[in-house]
Amino acid sequence: MVEGAERIEVTLADGTVVPAQVVGADPYNDLAVIQIDVPAEVLHPVELGSSANLRVGQRAIAIGNPFGLDRTLTTGVISSLGRIIESDGRPLGEMIQTDAAINPGNSGGPLLDSRGRVIGVNTAIRSGAENIGFAVPVDTVKRVVPQLIATGHYEHPWIGILAYAITPRLAQALDLPVDRGLLVAQVYRNSPAQRAGLRGGTSQVRVGNYRVLTGGDIITAINGVPVDSMDSLTVYLESKTQVGDTVELSVIRDGQTMTIQVELEARPQATG
Helix (H) or strand (E) holding 195: helix 192-196
Strand order in the sheet with 17-26: 8-11, 17-26, 31-36
- Residue 88: predicted pLDDT: 65
Contact 67, 105 (CB under 8 A): yes
d(CA 169, CA 252): 18
For the cut 70, the answer to whether the pLDDT of residue 182 exceeds it is yes
Count, residues in the chain: 272
Q: Which of 120, 131, 151, 133 is nearest to 29 (CA)?
A: 120
What domains can you pick out in the chain, each with its CATH number?
8-151 (2.40.10.120), 157-271 (2.30.42.10)
For the cut 90, the answer to whether the pLDDT of residue 235 exceeds it is no
For the cut 60, the answer to whether the pLDDT of residue 6 exceeds it is yes
For the cut 60, the answer to whether the pLDDT of residue 272 exceeds it is no
How is residue 171 annotated by DSSP? H
d(CA 76, CA 122): 13
Contact 17, 38 (CB under 8 A): no
What integer is the mean pLDDT of 6-10? Answer: 88
**Predicted structure pTM score:** 0.81
Helices (H), ranges, 36-167: 138-151
Helix (H) or strand (E) holding 238: helix 230-240
pLDDT single digits (tens) 36-95: 999 998 898 999 999 999 999 999 999 988 887 888 899 999 999 988 887 666 667 789
Rg (CA), the chain: 21
Q: Which three-class secondary structure state does DSSP give residue 100?
A: coil
d(CA 70, CA 81): 28
For the cut 70, the answer to whether the pLDDT of residue 228 exceeds it is yes
pLDDT band of 21, cuts 50, 70, 90: very high
Please tell me the number of Cα atoms within 13 Å of 156 on its side-chain side.
Answer: 22
- Residue 32: predicted pLDDT: 94
